[in-house]
Structure 1
Amino acid sequence: MLELKENVLDTDTYLYLRKKVGWIKLTDKQAEQAVNNSLFTVCAYLDGEPVGMGRVIGDGAVISYIQDLVVIPEAQKKGIGRRILLRLKRFVEEITEPGSRMMLCLMCAKGREKFYIDNGFTARPTDKLGPGMIIYIDKDGDRESQTT
């Protein structure tokens, strides 16, 4: 049975799920800060085991970002990612001040664009919006990793 839990994400689960999808290894300090500085988190549990997560980060007033939306490979294609995404979007709707508008942004992994487009997001660039940009600030000076 699938269960979504809000704001229970801990560092160990965060690191476990990132590892299961092959994302870069973080230090424990990075992981702890990332989790603690989230505005909102959702964890998906299948039969009591963590299989997915998502975080909302940002200022909570003008702009928020969906960050680290992952579902482990063996639990994909079951609608879990969509359920996490919908709950993250609903959270942002709930905190948006009446009469205002908040931007909800994300950067998706290559090949995952359709999932987000199908869930209401706009791929950039558009006629009015330029492409997203990224730069990695690497203390070790590993410039090669900036494109991965």
Structure 2
Amino acid sequence: MVDLPEGYRLLDGPPPVDEYLALRRAAGLSPRSRAQAVAALPGSWYACHVLHAESGLAVAMGRVIGDGGWYFHVADMAVLPEHQRRGLGDAVLTVLLDRIRAKAPPGAYVNLLADPPGRRLYARHGFTETAPDSIGMALKLP
């Protein structure tokens, strides 16, 4: 388990849907609809969030989606701006990766899409850029 500053507690599972959506929005992640969140969160391979004792709200989160065999994608890494620089993102990522290491078969492939604010955090945890060997590609459906 990881150490968190006083007043914070790490919980297994994603935050409640409304807190998930608010946390995404406040942390600058792309907005998602309630219907998307309701469908997505139960499909997580693993998720965790950090609860702020004083407010009772989720202030950090992350989740892993994947097939449980060889492919694992880290998603929804977010920390509320007013709770950043306290090690919460580092703690969440540590727990996600520890879970993968403990439960995934040997040879698991872990990836993520790294926006500029998170790149240093991910590099500290051993993630490296895949370009030019491979690049991220996306298809947004209407």
Structure 1 residue 14 displacement after superposition: 1.1
Matched, 1:52 2:60: yes
User: How far, CA to CA, are the matches of 1:11 and 1:114 in structure 2?
Assistant: 28
- Pick from 67, 71, 79 the counterpart of residue 71 of structure 1: 79
User: How far, CA to CA, are the matches of 1:82 and 1:109 in structure 2?
Assistant: 15
**Larger relative contact order (C-alpha < 8 A, sep ≥ 6)?**
2
CA RMSD of aligned residues (A): 1.5
Output aligned runs, 1:1-148, within 5 Å.
1-47=7-53, 48-97=56-105, 100-125=106-131, 130-139=133-142
Unpaired stretches in structure 1, ≥5 consecutive residues: 140-148
- Partner of 1:131, secondary structure, is coil
Segment drifting more, 130-139 vs 57-66:
130-139
- Partner of 1:112, secondary structure, is helix
From the CA coordinates, give the structure whose radius of gyration is larger.
1
Percent identity reads 26
Deviations 1:45-91 (A, max 9, x none): 12232111000001011110110100011111100000000000011
Q: How many residues align?
A: 134
User: How far, CA to CA, are the matches of 1:90 and 1:110 in structure 2?
Assistant: 24
In the alignment, is the contact (CA less than 8 A) between 1:10 and 1:35 conserved in 2?
no
TM (norm. structure 1) is: 0.83
Deviations 1:1-28 (A, max 9, x none): 1100001522112101111113232121
Unpaired stretches in structure 2, ≥5 consecutive residues: 1-6
